[in-house]
Amino acid sequence: MKKKRFIAIGLIVVLLLFCFGVIYYAKGMFYAYKVAAAFYKGNHDQMISCCNKAIELNPKYPEIFWFYYNRGFAYHGKGNLDQAISDYTKTIELNPEYVEAYYSRG
The per-residue pLDDT for range 4-53, each reduced to its tens digit, is: 554 545 445 444 444 444 455 556 677 777 777 888 888 899 889 988 88
At 103, which helix (H) or strand (E)? Answer: helix 99-105
Residue-wise pLDDT for 57-83, tens only, equals 877 777 889 889 999 999 999 999 999
Q: What is the pLDDT of residue 11?
A: 45
Please tell me the pTM assigned to this model. 0.74
CA distance 48 to 45: 5
d(CA 50, CA 44): 10
* CB neighbours of residue 30 within 10 Å: 15
